[in-house]
C-alpha cells in the first residue's frame, strides 16, 4: 500500500487522538477529493464557514492539511482550497505512537519499582510512601489498606507496548 493509501486509513486515527472527533467530519471529504474549497467543506460539514475555517486552521497548525488560494477573476475575491498532507499524517501517526510507547514504558518502570497499597473497598491505590503518611488507612473510607500485587497491571502495560510496537512495524 502506498503512502497516500496508508495516510488515508491512518488519518482518522491520528486526527481523532490528537484533536478530537469533531475534526473527523472535515477530514472525511478531504480523503475522497484531492482538494476542496472551505465553502464546499462548510456545506458538506453543514456548519458555518467561519467555524469550518477555525477547524481547518487547527488541522493546519498540526500540519495535517495545507491550502492554496485562487483569485476569482469576476469578483476579485480569493477562494481557499484545502488538501490533506499525507506525509505529515503518516509521520504524526508514528510520532504519536512512539510517544505513547515512551509514556507506557515510564509507567511500566514505575509499576515495577513501586510498592502499592490498595483499599479493600477499591476506593484508592497509593504508593508505599503516601500510604505510610496516612498509617495505611484509606482516606475515603478509613479501612486498612492492603499491599497490592500489580502483576496484572505490569502484564497489561507490556501487552500494550508490544501491540503498539507491532502496529508501528506493520505500518512502516
State the average pLDDT over residues 156-167.
92
| Cell (9 digits) for 61 | 497548525
- The reported pLDDT for the residue numbered 109 is 95
CA dist., res. 111 & res. 126, Å (int):
12
117: DSSP letter: E
Stretch 6-16: mean pLDDT: 76
- Dump pLDDT digits (tens) for 93-143: 888 889 999 999 999 999 999 999 999 999 999 999 999 999 999 999 999
pLDDT of residue 171: 64
Domain residue spans of the chain: 3-90, 114-171
* CATH 1.10.10.10 for domain 3-90: yes
* 148 DSSP β-pair partners: 116
Report the candidate in 161, 166, 16 with the shortest Cα–Cα distance to residue 100.
161
Q: How far is it, in rounded angstroms, from Cα 115 to Cα 3?
A: 46
144 neighbors 136 (Cβ within 8 angstroms) = yes
End-to-end Cα separation, the chain, in angstroms:
10
Amino acid at each position: 500500500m502506498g503512502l497516500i493509501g496508508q495516510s488515508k486509513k491512518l488519518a482518522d486515527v491520528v486526527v481523532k487522538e490528537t484533536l478530537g472527533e469533531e475534526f473527523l467530519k472535515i477530514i472525511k471529504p478531504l480523503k475522497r477529493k484531492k482538494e476542496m474549497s472551505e465553502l464546499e467543506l462548510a456545506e458538506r460539514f453543514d456548519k458555518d464557514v467561519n467555524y469550518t475555517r477555525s477547524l481547518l486552521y487547527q488541522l493546519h497548525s498540526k500540519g495535517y492539511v495545507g491550502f492554496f488560494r485562487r483569485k476569482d477573476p469576476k469578483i476579485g475575491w480569493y477562494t481557499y482550497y484545502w488538501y490533506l498532507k499525507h506525509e505529515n499524517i503518516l509521520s504524526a501517526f508514528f510520532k504519536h505512537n512512539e510517544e505513547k510507547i515512551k509514556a507506557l514504558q515510564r509507567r511500566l518502570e514505575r509499576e515495577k519499582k513501586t510498592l502499592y497499597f490498595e483499599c479493600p473497598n477499591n476506593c484508592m491505590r497509593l504508593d508505599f510512601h503516601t500510604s505510610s503518611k496516612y498509617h495505611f488507612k484509606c482516606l475515603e473510607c478509613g479501612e486498612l489498606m492492603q499491599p497490592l500485587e500489580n502483576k496484572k497491571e505490569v502484564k497489561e502495560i507490556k501487552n500494550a507496548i508490544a501491540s503498539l510496537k507491532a502496529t508501528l512495524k506493520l505500518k512502516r
